[in-house]
Structure 1
């Protein structure tokens, strides 16, 4: 899958619009739309910003779907996780740590 296709896939999984991706990744809306409308391949800094917005690494971005399948519950959890701000993620991790002890 090409980079634009993978980005579209990740957007669909999260029900994000082009505008939402631009906002979450701190990219201009025109940068995001040009990736799709003009078929411009994203630059490495753009791709890094997109991955950060999705809450994934570049390695995860390029990993094929041959990895173990996630359950529907895990996919929902990861999709919601990616919408949290950094401080919210830290608070949730702290809560999980207290629940495990």
Structure 2
């Protein structure tokens, strides 16, 4: 069975590139382009990894991460965002993200 990854990213080009490359590597990939859809998908389907942007329409990535952790989700969360300040990283990790990667 292929691992399932959910990408929550509002930049269409980046979301498509990530989806295509991950599928090429054999992963099953879901994509949501806003925070509300991302939260709905994360609650409805089991995923092995969430790749989560911080700045999203609807709910932001921190709110999604926090809610999932409060609900007991142990799904690994990778924050992928343009916010690169040290304090942004600290807040993301303290909110429950497992890793934090800044966009180039």
TM-score bucket of the superposed structures, by smaller chain: under 0.3
Larger fraction in helix: 1
Larger Rg: 1
TM (normalized to structure 2)? Answer: 0.26
More strand by share: 2
